[in-house]
Structure 1
Amino acid sequence: MSKYDDASWHYGGDFPEGLPEKNGATHTGMFLNWCIQNDLISDELKEDGEEEIEKLMRREITGAEFIMDSMDGKFSEYDLNELGNAFAQDYYKDETDFGNRYSSFADDYVNIFDAKAEENDYEYETFYHIEDTYDNYDLMQLAINHRYEEWKEYRNLN
């Protein structure tokens, strides 16, 4: 099994004091939320997380809350279907040909929220201080939608 991310990799290391562990999953939760919204998750995750996925779809919980509460903070290839894994392999993972040519998820995440902070005349103390909100998810969703379209062209899937 190949793990894409694990919240403990973040909160278990050089993690800012005073932040909830959930903040180690904010970025991953936004990506997984997008995958759920776009039907790129595995049948197993759909079955195992049916109730929580319905809450996510109604925006009663965030992607980070879903990952922490339903997936033990871990995000792996078992959570996505074939198309979802192909996209995640190229976009979510660092240092891929697609990421180098266009952008990676992490680069988009940092750039979007740095720009948002700059527009509002503040600066995020760290990557982990980005708020786990649906307003922020909506910003990322636009970026991921754009990258997904680029990726489909890159992979000749159109």
Structure 2
Amino acid sequence: MTAEKKIDIQKTIYDNAKSHFLGNFPDSLPIEQAYVHIGMYLGWVIDNQLYSEYFEDEAEMQIFRFSRREISCTILSEIWDGYLGYELFNKTGNMFTYYYYGGGLYRNDYDEVLVQKLPSIYHVKDSWDNYQSIVNRIDMRFQDWKKLVGQQ
């Protein structure tokens, strides 16, 4: 993807927890586990200030509390009903999310870094250690993407 290529990302919904717990979600797990992978990505977006003015206006306290590590990734995601859509991100955040999350690379990285030998993505524990592990990978992908699109 080049920087000149136009992407129509309006109305894009990248993920929604409901589609997980109404799908192949294991009955043996608490429903909150459907929010973990979404919350970890949203947390990374907050830590990198790639969120929109709308999100900042609507979630100012949650952004602050997450930044202070007072709320977990799961709680962050639950506040937004497990929704991950275009209006939560600024332009750069949307372009990267479209490429990385929408393109399936996040899921691949999540599986490789955190799921490994667990039965499913829903078995990953919401912990700050796990968050940091996936953040390291997302950071690497973000830097690679910025080079790809010429945003040094």
Global fold match (TM > 0.5): yes
2:8 corresponds in structure 1 to none
Q: Is the CA contact 1:7–1:22 (under 8 Å) kept in the aligned structure 2?
A: no
Match of 1:90 among 99, 117, 122: 99
Alpha-carbon displacement from aligned partner over 1:57-115 (angstroms, at most 9, x marks no partner): 1111122211212x1221100000000000001101135xxxxxxxx111011001245
Q: Is the CA contact 1:29–1:63 (under 8 Å) kept in the aligned structure 2?
A: yes
Q: Is the CA contact 2:36–2:77 (under 8 Å) kept in the aligned structure 1?
A: no
Whole-Å separation in 1 of the counterparts to 2:88 and 2:103: 19
Matched, 1:132 2:126: yes
RMSD between aligned residues: 1.2
Identity in percent: 31
1:77 corresponds in structure 2 to 86
* TM-score, length-scaled by structure 2: 0.89
Offset of 1:3 from its aligned partner? 0.7
Match of 2:44 among 31, 34, 57: 34
Matched, 1:144 2:107: no
Matched, 1:112 2:113: yes
Name the one with the larger helix percent. 1
AA of the residue aligned to 2:144 = E
- Runs of 5+ in structure 1 lacking a partner? 96-103, 116-122
Q: Tell me which stretches of 4 or more aligned residues in structure 1 moved more than 4 Å.
A: none
Whole-Å separation in 2 of the counterparts to 1:106 and 1:137: 14
Q: Choose between structure 1 and 2 for higher RCO, CA contacts under 8 A separated by at least 6 residues.
A: 2
- Runs of 5+ in structure 2 lacking a partner? 1-10
Whole-Å separation in 2 of the counterparts to 1:31 and 1:114: 15
Count of matched residue pairs: 142
Whole-Å separation in 1 of the counterparts to 2:46 and 2:112: 23
After TM superposition, the structure 1 stretch with the greater mean CA deviation from structure 2, 31-40 or 18-27, is: 18-27
